[in-house]
């Protein structure tokens, strides 16, 4: 057994151990918790009290795992997956929903990155595309995103379209830019709403910590508002209440813009964070019984776009089994 060392050099305050390790290793929080509970994780040579402990700058984290083949030191921006090749990492199962000579519509599983970040992750949808559709390597605008026009958060799942040639890529790109593509999601959030239908139009920007934040829209033409003006991108989220529970609400959501973490940030700002979200969370709302789900309750279930013939292509899928199971638990 070889120890794996990771150095925490993030500038973001109050970073949780499980969040940081999930990001670095590609494992989910439940897997990280099992490692911590089993005594296989050390922080500055001490066993953490719990997986949710906060990390201090320059902390040294040691993970003891049988599958690790060599000891590698990691600084900020480096991936714990670099240099490692295991059967689990190389095997990616993707459900293909539709396929033509021009496009591919898939169901992206939760926990899978769409494309590598600066950390150069190996286990991504982009890698799967290159392995199974090598001719797509030159489709698009960036080789690390072959044929990829839009994204889903790593911890979200659902319908995603991939262009198989440049002409389709350009058409899809224009449709997304012109907001012609219809994107629908199933989302479970904390709390209940007064209205059965509503919209959230808070502007979204990136904070100094790296997280996305919401800023309520203000009238920029009024002199009294000039000191309050902050740069943010216009964002619109539309939602309908599908079902209400005692502590939760199941929503059908349509986004009219594609900002980073848009649904998660808008729901958090409105006081209704998404269940399973560890980045935009309100600890006061979370109970031990919520541990029945170890992923983000956010699924892209419907996508509508036009093909090269101008025909409308609509793809809709059912709610994932693990999400259904959680809903049955909270009835």
Question: What digits encode the pLDDT tens for the residues 35-91?
Answer: 888 888 888 888 888 888 888 877 788 887 543 333 323 233 333 333 333 344 457
- Any idea which residue has 């700002």 for tokens? 269
- Measured CA to CA, the distance from residue 141 to residue 181 in angstroms comes to 20
| pLDDT value, residue 122 | 79
Using the predicted structure, report yes or no on whether residue 31 has a pLDDT greater than 60: yes
Q: Tell me the pTM.
A: 0.69
- Measured CA to CA, the distance from residue 29 to residue 36 in angstroms comes to 10
Is the model more confident about 155 or about 4?
A: 155
Structure token digits, residue 222: 């009024």
| pLDDT value, residue 304 | 98
| pLDDT value, residue 52 | 81
For the residues 138-148, what does the mean pLDDT come to?
A: 92
Reference 56, options 5, 119, 7; nearest CA is: 7
Concatenating the DSSP letter of every residue in 256-289 gives SS--TTHHHHHHHHTT-PBTT-SSS--GGG--GG
> What kind and span of H or E run contains 322?
helix 321-329
Look at phi and psi of residue 287 and say left if phi exceeds 0, alpha if psi is from -120 to 50, else beta: beta
- Measured CA to CA, the distance from residue 214 to residue 230 in angstroms comes to 11
List, in sequence order, every beta strand (DSSP E) within 101-175: 103-108, 157-163
Domains and CATH numbers, the chain: 2-78 (3.10.290.10), 90-178 (3.30.2350.10), 183-329 (3.30.2350.10)
Inter-residue contact 276 to 293 (CB < 8 Å):
yes
> What kind and span of H or E run contains 312?
strand 312-316
Q: Please give the angle made by the CA atoms of 304, 176 and 308, to the nearest 5 degrees.
A: 65
Question: What digits encode the pLDDT tens for the residues 5-23?
Answer: 565 555 555 578 888 887 7
List, in sequence order, every beta strand (DSSP E) within 120-236: 157-163, 182-190, 197-200, 203-206, 212-215
Average pLDDT, the chain: 82
Is the model more confident about 210 or about 82?
A: 210
Residue 3 pLDDT grade (very low, low, confident, very high; cuts 50, 70, 90): low
Among all residues, which ones are annotated catalytic?
153
Residue 215 pLDDT grade (very low, low, confident, very high; cuts 50, 70, 90): low
């Amino acid at each position: 057994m070889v120890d794996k060392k990771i150095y925490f050099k993030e500038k973001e305050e109050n970073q949780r151990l499980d969040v940081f390790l999930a990001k670095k290793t590609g494992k989910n929080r439940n897997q990280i918790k099992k490692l911590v509970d089993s005594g296989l994780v050390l922080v500055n040579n001490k066993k953490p009290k719990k997986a949710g402990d906060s990390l201090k700058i320059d902390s040294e984290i040691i993970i003891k795992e049988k599958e690790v083949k060599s000891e590698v030191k990691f600084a900020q921006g480096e991936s714990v997956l670099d240099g490692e090749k295991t059967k689990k990492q190389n095997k990616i199962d993707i459900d293909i929903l539709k396929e033509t000579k021009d496009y591919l519509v898939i169901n992206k599983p939760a926990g899978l990155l769409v494309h590598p970040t600066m950390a150069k992750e190996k286990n991504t949808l982009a890698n799967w595309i290159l392995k199974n559709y090598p001719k797509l390597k030159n489709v698009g605008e960036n080789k690390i995103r072959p044929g990829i026009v839009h994204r889903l958060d790593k911890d979200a799942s659902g319908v995603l379209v991939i262009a198989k040639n440049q002409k389709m890529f350009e058409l899809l790109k224009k449709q997304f830019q012109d907001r012609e593509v219809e994107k629908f999601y199933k989302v479970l959030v904390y709390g209940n709403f007064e209205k059965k239908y509503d919209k959230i139009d808070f502007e979204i920007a990136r904070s100094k910590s790296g997280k996305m934040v919401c800023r309520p829209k203000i009238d920029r033409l009024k002199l009294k508002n000039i000191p309050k003006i902050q740069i943010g991108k216009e964002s619109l989220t539309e939602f309908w209440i599908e079902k209400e529970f005692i502590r939760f609400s199941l929503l059908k959501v349509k986004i009219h813009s594609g900002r980073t973490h848009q649904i998660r940030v808008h729901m958090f700002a409105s006081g209704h964070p998404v269940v399973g979200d560890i980045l935009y969370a309100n600890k006061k709302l979370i109970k031990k019984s919520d541990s029945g789900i170890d992923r983000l309750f956010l699924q892209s279930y419907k996508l509508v776009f036009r093909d090269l013939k101008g025909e409308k292509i609509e793809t809709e899928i059912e709610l994932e089994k693990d999400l259904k199971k959680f809903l049955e638990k909270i009835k």
